[in-house]
């Protein structure tokens, strides 16, 4: 947790004291149709890979009820976004420091009430989240299982939507259903696919090609394949050890896959689907998505 002195150091180190324009933060929502396909593990380890490649990353655990990121890194739950909204603590009070210098925010039950916030609460939330602008390059949102209205809001408001699926037929059909819903609300959505738990590169390619084809044919959307992650017993082992697999088993097949995905993501000249990025536009989209 941050004290006042830390906050001041932060302000100096991020140039918040002067009036230089702050670079935009890229907001990525990690989502899936079917639950349990590996979103939280992907979000955390992908964040670590981006960090090791020089990016500054904040992970927002938007999984209401289950503090996944806390558990995956073996920390006890701290303050959440609910504390920020309801008790007016600052963003620096709820921002937790994780391994390798990543930061994370626990969503907590506050996210559930996102739709019923009063205007002054929304204003406060926007102001506080905007502090992250210039502090980080990426805000990676790990969305929870199941498509609640709140989750859909996060997904539709993000600059990039990463859809995770596995080679199981149910995960593929659920991914298709999710993409269909996203495209219905935003035909220009920028969606990237990650096939998790593949047993071979050929299997990963086959699943991705299939989804790219059907979504193109029936939904007229150009899905981008980010890549695949190998099914690897080290993932489950690391989960039990409460250390991210990317750190605990850096030479494992899963970690190497994550490295490749992060490199590909950084190399891709990915367009931004809203024409504008950054926290304020993200939040403004969040508050408008369901009004029209
Ligand atoms: N690449 C992988 N190889 C092997 N096992 C994996 C892999 N990815 C995920 N798993 C297994 O799947 C479990 C669920 O992963 P995770 O919690 O990341 O899924 P999730 O999509 O976030 O779930 P939820 O929908 O409940 O939030 C992990 O605990 C791990 O055992
Ligand atoms: Mg999860």
CA dihedral 46, 51, 54, 58 (to 10 degrees): 100
- In this model, does residue 190 exceed pLDDT 80? yes
Question: Could you tell me the distance, in angstroms and rounded to a whole number, from the CA of residue 41 to the centre of ligand 1?
Answer: 6
Asked whether residue 15 is assigned to any structural domain, the reply reads no
The CA angle 88-289-21, to the nearest 5 degrees, is: 60
Which range has the worst mean pLDDT, 82-91, 134-143, 184-193? 82-91
- To test the ligand 1 pocket, which listed residue (35, 36, 174, 178) has its Cβ within 8 A of the most ligand atoms? 36
**What is the count of structural domains for the chain?**
1
Quick check: is 13 in a domain?
no
Does the pLDDT at position 217 exceed 90? yes
Instruction: Tell which residue, 231, 183, 238, has the closest CA to residue 207.
Output: 231
User: How many A from CA of 281 to the centre of ligand 1?
Assistant: 31
Query: Is residue 94 domain-resident?
Result: yes
Mean pLDDT of all residues belonging to the chain:
84
- Res 18: pLDDT: 45
Question: Residue 220 and residue 85: Cα distance in Å, rounded?
Answer: 39
* Structure confidence by residue, pLDDT tens digits, 15-67: 444 455 556 889 899 999 988 999 999 999 999 999 999 999 999 988 765 65
Give the SS3 label for residue 102: coil
pLDDT at 40: 94
* 37 CA closest ligand 1 atom index: 21
The torsion angles phi and psi of 191, rounded to 5 degrees, stand at -115, 130
- The torsion angles phi and psi of 40, rounded to 5 degrees, stand at -65, -40
Whether the pLDDT of residue 119 is over 80: the answer is no
Share of the chain above pLDDT 90, in %: 53
Does residue 65 fall inside a structural domain?
yes
The domain containing residue 275 runs over which residues? 23-287
Question: Tell me: the pLDDT tens digits for 79-99?
Answer: 888 888 888 899 999 999 999
Query: In testing the pocket of ligand 1, which one of 235, 241, 255, 258 has its CB within 8 Å of the most ligand atoms?
Result: 235
Mean pLDDT, to the nearest integer, of 274-289?
A: 66
In angstroms, the CA 226 to CA 2 distance is: 35
In a domain, 84, yes or no: yes
Q: What are phi and psi of 226, to 5 degrees?
A: -80, -35
CA of 240 to the centre of ligand 2 (A): 15
At residue 225, the 3 state secondary structure works out as strand
| pLDDT for residue 209 is more than 90 | yes
Structural domain contains residue 292: no
Ligand 1 neighbours by CB, cut-off 6 Å: 32, 35-41, 63, 68, 144-145, 196-197, 229, 231-232, 235-236, 239, 254
Q: DSSP letters of 235-290? A: HHHHHHHTS-HHHH-TTSHHHHHHHHHHHHHHHS----TTS--SHHHHHHHHHHTT
Give 39 Cα–ligand 2 centroid separation in angstroms: 5
Q: Has residue 151 got a pLDDT over 70?
A: yes
Q: What is the H or E stretch that residue 157 is in?
A: helix 149-157
Instruction: Confirm whether 17 is domain-assigned.
Output: no
Tell whether 10 is covered by a domain: no
Write the CATH number for 83: 3.40.50.300
Q: How far is Cα 288 from Cα 195, in angstroms, rounded to an integer?
A: 31
What would the pLDDT profile of 223-263 be if each residue is shown by its tens digit? Answer: 999 999 999 999 999 999 999 999 999 999 999 999 999 99
């Amino acid at each position: 947790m941050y004290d006042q002195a830390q906050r001041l150091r932060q302000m100096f180190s991020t140039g918040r004291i002067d009036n230089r324009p702050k670079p935009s933060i890229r907001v990525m929502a990690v989502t899936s149709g079917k639950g349990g396909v590996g979103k939280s593990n992907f979000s955390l380890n992908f964040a670590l890979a981006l960090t090791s490649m020089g990016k500054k990353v904040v992970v927002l655990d938007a999984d209401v009820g289950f503090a996944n990121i806390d558990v995956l890194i073996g920390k006890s739950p701290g303050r959440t976004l609910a504390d920020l909204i309801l008790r007016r603590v600052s963003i620096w009070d709820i921002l937790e420091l994780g391994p390798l210098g990543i930061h994370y925010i626990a969503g907590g039950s506050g996210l559930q009430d996102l739709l019923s916030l009063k205007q002054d609460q929304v204003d406060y939330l926007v102001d506080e989240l905007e502090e992250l602008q210039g502090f980080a390059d990426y805000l990676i949102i790990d969305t929870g299982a199941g498509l609640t209205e709140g989750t859909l809001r996060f997904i539709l408001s993000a600059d990039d939507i990463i859809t995770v699926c596995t080679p199981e037929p149910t995960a593929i059909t659920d991914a298709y259903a999710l993409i269909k819903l996203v495209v219905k609300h935003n035909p220009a959505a920028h969606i990237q696919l990650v096939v998790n738990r593949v047993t071979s590169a050929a299997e990963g390619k086959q699943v991705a090609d299939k989804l790219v084809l059907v979504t193109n044919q029936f939904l007229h959307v150009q899905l981008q394949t980010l890549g695949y992650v190998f099914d690897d017993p080290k993932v489950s082992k690391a989960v039990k050890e409460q250390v991210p697999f990317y750190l605990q088993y850096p030479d494992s097949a899963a970690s190497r896959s994550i490295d490749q995905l992060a490199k590909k993501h950084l190399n891709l000249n990915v367009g931004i689907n809203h024409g504008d990025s950054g926290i304020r536009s993200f939040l403004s989209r969040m508050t408008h998505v369901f009004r029209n």
